[in-house]
């Protein structure tokens, strides 16, 4: 990763992003120059396109000039602030990758991660990274939205989203009916009543959420642990000071509610579902399965050492970005030409299916053999039964696996639906998401980190093995 490069291109582009805020070219250039310096690379040329959306398909003169320089072998690396600055449309990426491939330019880097466009998988990864990066840059611009931060710091409420329970439409005045309900819920919860019992109580009283829906345990938990209820202003999930409204319950009650309702020990049965990739990740060092291994408040997957897991303990990866990335990969895969080809061309059975087929045939032959041995008096009936049941169990497992492989019925209903699924992905519950992921993805190998300590996801560490 730290190879010396002496004629690197920096590319920057100004564009309106979806939140209507623009990320200044200056800032992009600063970040890219810093990245070059960090790597010890020499920048030969900076290319800047201004005010032209990569989406519109209009010509980008500087981008074209950079491509010519790459094609003529005058550049040995590209630094770009985000992949979405380079391309928005797949066809542009294909062309870019082809030109880089011919010129043997492998190093396309962003301050947040590397992409190897010449390597076959790298291209897919670049597309996914671009998709993820687009989301990220959205989130980032929202995060740095000065205005909402200013409002938050003044303690005033934001008006977006549904009205918070307990408050009137101005989000400051207590709701005459709902505020007492919150105080009731607080007393009951602190007295040890379970969330299920609180939900039942609310339903019996006919109290609904501000959107007219029935309460669930998680919505009750969310309301009761929201610092808004004890007069705190929350911004981007963080308490940033006192709010302008009066508290409904005391701060002490609020803190006790948080300890009680957010105590991880209460939620052990949920932890399995909080790690949707559990059992699908394989350690790239020792081949063991990776499991949930949180550090502090951060969810991680890890290869675990010790007598129970027998892993090497050598690989960890943060969960959130990885899960986003894999979901994106799966949704992309569902719409990919490769997948359609796989399904329509019906090429020779994949290796795994062939191996299973052989195992099934071998076991079927073994059953015959056992019957013959018993008939010939070589084994007793009891011995035959024992061996038979062992072979039959294995046979059954293999048959089921074989039919899963050859009749991917689960996946069939999702194929070609990547776009639609993407639009509603976050409304699906975790088990629905897992079902879709498992229909397409066999497993994912996680390789060791090459850039320790850096935040974000390095897509080169993620090696998917597709079921189809
Ligand atoms: Zn391991």
What confidence tens digit (pLDDT) does each residue in 118-157 have?
554 555 556 555 555 444 444 544 444 556 677 777 888 8
The Å distance, Cα 87 to ligand 1 centre, comes to 37
* % of the chain beyond a pLDDT of 90: 19
Q: 269 or 156: which carries more pLDDT confidence?
A: 156
Q: Which tokens hold the place of 425?
A: 């992905």
pLDDT of residue 174 exceeding 60, the answer is yes
For ligand 1, the distance from its centroid to the CA atom of residue 448, given in whole angstroms, is: 10
Question: Cα separation of 189 and 181, whole Å?
Answer: 12
% of the chain at pLDDT higher than 70: 74
Tell me the average pLDDT of the chain.
Answer: 77
Question: Which position has the higher pLDDT, 330 or 45?
Answer: 45
Ligand 1 mean position, distance from CA 316 (Å): 9
pLDDT at residue 26, rounded to an integer: 79
Give the distance (Å) from ligand 1 centre to CA of residue 290: 8
| Tokens of residue 159, six digits | 């008006």
Q: How far is the CA of 255 from the centre of ligand 1 (A)?
A: 39
Residues 189 and 198: beta-carbon distance below 8 Å: yes
Does the pLDDT value for residue 264 go beyond 80?
no
Distance 300 CA to ligand 1 centre (A): 14
Query: Cα(449) to centroid of ligand 1, in Å?
Result: 13
* 158 has pLDDT over 90: no
Q: How confident is the model at residue 162 (pLDDT cuts 50, 70, 90)?
A: confident
CA 207 – ligand 1 centroid, Å: 51
Read off the pLDDT band of 254 (50, 70, 90): very high
Q: How far is the CA of 452 from the centre of ligand 1 (A)?
A: 17
The CATH class of the 149-262 domain is: alpha beta
**Predicted pLDDT of residue 328:** 84
The residue with greater pLDDT, 233 or 56, is 233
Q: Which residue has the higher pLDDT, 211 or 358?
A: 211
Average pLDDT over residues 11-24: 59
Sign (positive or negative) of CA dihedral 88, 89, 94, 95? negative
- Scanning 284-443, the segments in alpha helix (DSSP H) are 319-334, 337-345, 351-375, 381-406, 409-412, 418-424, 430-440
- Expressed in angstroms and rounded, the spacing between residue 446 Cα and the centre of ligand 1 is 9
Distance 2 CA to ligand 1 centre (A): 26
- The whole-number pLDDT of residue 341 equals 59
Of 4-8, 28-32, 423-427, 443-447, the range with the lowest mean pLDDT is 423-427
Tell me, in angstroms, the distance from the centre of ligand 1 to residue 441's CA. Answer: 21
Task: Classify burial at 189, counting beta carbons within 10 Å of its beta carbon; exposed 0-12, middle 13-18, buried 19 or more.
Answer: buried
Q: What is the mean pLDDT of residues 339-347?
A: 53
Per-residue pLDDT, 17: 46
Q: Ligand 1 centre from 286 Cα, in Å?
A: 4
* Max avg pLDDT among 3-12, 43-52, 93-102, 109-118: 3-12
Mean pLDDT of 108-122: 62
Residue 214 CA to residue 61 CA, distance in Å, equals 56
- Comparing 85 with 189, the larger pLDDT belongs to 189
Kindly give the distance from the C-alpha atom of residue 283 to the centroid of ligand 1, in angstroms, as a whole number: 5
CB 456 within 8 A of CB 112: yes
64 or 468, which is more confident: 64
Beta strand extents in 157-295 (DSSP E only): 232-235, 238-242, 281-283, 291-292
Q: Is residue 346 pLDDT above 50, yes or no? A: no
| Ligand 1 center from residue 312 Cα (angstroms) | 4
Residue 325 alpha carbon to ligand 1 centre in Å: 21
User: Which pLDDT belongs to residue 253?
Assistant: 93
The domain ranges of the chain are 8-144, 149-262, 271-335+416-466, 338-412
What separation in Å is there between the alpha carbon of 117 and the centre of ligand 1?
28
Q: How far does residue 354's CA lie from ligand 1's centre (Å)?
A: 28
Q: What is the pLDDT of residue 307?
A: 61
pLDDT exceeds cutoff 50 at 165: yes
Q: Is the dihedral of CA 113, 119, 123, 128 positive or negative?
A: negative
Q: Are 83 and 110 in contact (CB under 8 A)?
A: yes
Give the C-alpha separation, 367 to 387, whole Å. Answer: 9
Q: How far is the CA of 198 from the centre of ligand 1 (A)?
A: 44
What CATH code is assigned to 8-144? 3.40.50.1390
What value does the mean pLDDT take over residues 31-37? 89
> Span 290-305, mean pLDDT?
84
Q: Is the pLDDT of residue 270 over 50?
A: no
Asked whether residue 317 carries a pLDDT value surpassing 70, the answer given is yes
Distance 285 CA to ligand 1 centre (A): 5
Per residue in 80-99, pLDDT (tens digit) is 877 667 776 556 777 787 88
CA of 302 to the centre of ligand 1 (A): 8
pLDDT > 60? residue 465: yes
CA of 288 to the centre of ligand 1 (A): 5
């Amino acid at each position: 990763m730290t190879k010396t490069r002496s004629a690197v291109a920096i590319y920057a582009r100004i564009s309106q992003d979806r939140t209507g805020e623009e990320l200044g070219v200056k800032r992009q250039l600063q970040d890219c120059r810093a990245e070059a310096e960090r790597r010890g690379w020499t920048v030969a040329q900076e290319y800047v396109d201004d005010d032209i959306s990569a989406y519109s398909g209009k010509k980008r003169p500087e981008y074209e000039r950079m491509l010519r320089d790459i094609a003529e072998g005058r550049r040995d690396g590209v630094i770009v602030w985000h992949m979405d600055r380079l391309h928005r449309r797949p066809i542009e990426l294909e062309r870019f990758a082809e030109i880089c491939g011919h010129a043997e330019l492998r190093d396309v880097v962003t301050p947040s991660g590397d992409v190897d466009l010449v390597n076959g998988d790298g291209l897919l990864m670049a597309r996914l990274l671009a998709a993820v990066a687009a989301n990220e840059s959205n989130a980032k611009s929202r995060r740095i939205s000065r205005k909402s931060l200013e409002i938050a710091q003044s303690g005033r409420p934001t008006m977006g989203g549904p009205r918070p329970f307990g408050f009137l439409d101005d989000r400051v005045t207590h709701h005459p009916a709902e505020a007492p309900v919150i105080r009731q819920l607080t007393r009951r919860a602190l007295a040890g009543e379970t969330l299920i019992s609180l939900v039942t109580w609310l339903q019996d009283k006919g109290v609904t959420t501000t959107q007219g829906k029935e309460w669930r345990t998680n919505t009750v938990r969310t309301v009761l642990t929201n610092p808004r209820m004890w007069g705190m202003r929350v911004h981007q999930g963080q308490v940033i000071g006192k709010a302008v409204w009066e508290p409904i319950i005391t701060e002490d009650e609020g803190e006790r509610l948080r300890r009680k309702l957010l105590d991880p020990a209460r939620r052990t049965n949920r932890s399995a579902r909080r790690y949707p990739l559990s059992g699908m990740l394989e350690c790239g060092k020792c081949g063991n399965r990776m499991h949930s291994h949180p550090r502090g408040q951060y969810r991680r997957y890890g290869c675990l050492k010790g007598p129970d897991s027998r892993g090497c303990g050598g690989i960890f990866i943060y969960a959130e970005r990885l899960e986003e990335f894999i979901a994106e990969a799966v949704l992309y895969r569902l719409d990919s030409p490769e997948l359609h080809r796989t399904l329509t061309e019906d090429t020779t059975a994949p290796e795994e299916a062939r191996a299973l087929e052989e195992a099934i045939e071998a076991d079927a032959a073994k059953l015959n053999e056992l019957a013959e041995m018993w008939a010939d008096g070589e084994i007793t009936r009891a011995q035959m039964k024992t061996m038979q049941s062992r072979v039959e169990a294995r046979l059954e497992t293999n048959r089921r696996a074989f039919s899963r492989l050859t009749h991917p019925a689960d996946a069939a209903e999702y194929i070609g639906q990547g776009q639609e699924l993407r639009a509603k992905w976050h409304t699906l519950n975790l088990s629905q998401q897992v079902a879709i992921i498992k229909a397409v993805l066999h497993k994912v190998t996680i390789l060791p980190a090459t850039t320790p300590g850096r935040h974000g996801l390095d897509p080169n560490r993620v090696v998917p093995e597709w079921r189809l």
